[in-house]
Chain A
Amino acid sequence: MNAPLAIAELDRALVRVLQGGLPRVPRPYHAVAETLGVAPETVMARVEAMLASGAIRRIGAVPNHYRLGWVANGMSVWDVDDAEVDRLGVRVGELPTVSHCYRRPRRPPRWPYNLFAMVHGRDRGEVEAKVAEIAALLGPAARAHDVLYSTRVLKKTGLRFGAAG
């Protein structure tokens, strides 16, 4: 057994071991505990704590949405009144098939948009229908918008913290 690790150090080690995925063995948390030289109960307690703090958003599968038939994805971007964007951003994020919704800085003059909502559909028609729904929800608070369709996935990996971490 290693000497007991400080919690921050242990959490960091857990991120390093788990960022590649949860082991597919009957007792995955026990396997992680064995790798780290700590008790299985400690691993499960830290994972629960990280779920509670939001450091782990959830544990589960990341589907390849193209494989599931969700082949169209459009990044809809909106120039929304600063006084309204937080109230409206929450409502846009509640719409089904919006997977990410953020406020980001404008970069005038090249980029006037401050609200980003990623919209998924089985084809562009579905994405366009969803974008129309967002436009109706935003109303006159949105002065302009655009939809950027992805034409190629060039790279897609999970979060990678340094191996030395």
Chain B
Amino acid sequence: MSMDAQDRAIVNALQGGFPVCERPYAAVAEALGLSEESLLARIDALLADGTLTRFGPMFDADKLGGAFALAAMSVPAADFERVAAAVNARPEVAHNYARDHALNLWFVLATETPEGIDAAIEAIERATGIEVLAFPKEREYFVGLRLAA
């Protein structure tokens, strides 16, 4: 899909703080010179065609008592699809990427408790027979996406 100028304006506007009020879409639509109805329709269309992966609150798992951890594995090329599928099958795995490095599979675990991270790692090691290296965050310096559409 090629985005038109209006879609770009919508995506850029929605990356900021969305209001908490009775008619938040109407408030944003007014700032963009759109009707509430057409803004809702455009957001639905951008979600449906995959331009947006999500619309809503971004939760910080740590502050909700949950835990996040980055983890990596070194997977032999011949075994890659099997191991990637086994990792993806775990509900604790939020993101999973192939990367060009000896550690070639990198994923993010999100669990309700810190203990859940260890349990998920053990389950993945058991299912795949490959060691998982965990990289829990020790300090967060910045998190945010500032990509202009």
Q: Do A and B bind each other?
A: yes
B-contacting residues, A66-116, CB 8 Å: 67-68, 70, 75, 86, 89-90, 92-94, 96-105, 107, 110-111, 116
For the residues of A in contact with B, the DSSP-based class is: mixed
Name B41's closest neighbour in chain A (CB-CB): A24
B126 CB within 8 Å of chain A: no
Contact: A104 with B17, CB < 8 Å? no
Q: Is the CB of A24 within 8 A of B88?
A: no
Asked whether B63 lies within 8 Å of A110 as measured between CB atoms, the reply is no
Task: Establish whether residues B142 and A15, one from each chain, have CB atoms under 8 Å apart when the complex forms.
Answer: no
Binding site for B on A (CB under 8 A): 11-12, 15, 18-22, 24-30, 40, 44, 47-48, 50-51, 53-65, 67-68, 70, 75, 86, 89-90, 92-94, 96-105, 107, 110-111, 116, 120, 146, 148-162, 165
Residues of B within 8 A of A107 (CB): 133, 135
Contact with A along B2-44 (1 / 0, CB 8 A): 0100000001001111101111111000000000100010011
- A151 contacts B53, CB within 8 Å? no
State how many angstroms separate the Cβ of B25 from the closest Cβ of chain A. 6
